[in-house]
Amino acid sequence: MNLIDCYVSKILSEPYRKFGAWWVDVEYEAYGRTSKTQLMFRTEQAALTAAVGHHFLA
């Protein structure tokens, strides 16, 4: 499975708790395409660090 570099372009929600983890809805760009997803974090403090430019692999 290949992973691609993704960068958050817009935060769509405040952190919320679901399934025992913290989630943030984001819009991201990868290879010139814009998509939406949810990022999962273990703590609320970690979820609050998600910002425009945040890098993740998908």
Q: What is the pLDDT of residues 13-50, one digit of tens each?
A: 999 999 999 999 999 999 999 999 999 999 999 999 99
Please say whether the dihedral angle defined by the alpha carbons of residues 12, 36, 31 and 44, taken in this order, is positive or negative.
positive
DSSP 51: -
Nearest alpha-carbon partner for 14 in 40, 47, 56, 55: 47
Tokens of 58: 């998908």
From CA 41, how far away is CA 32, in angstroms rounded? 25
Cβ neighbours, 10 Å, residue 8? 20
The pTM assigned to this predicted structure is 0.90
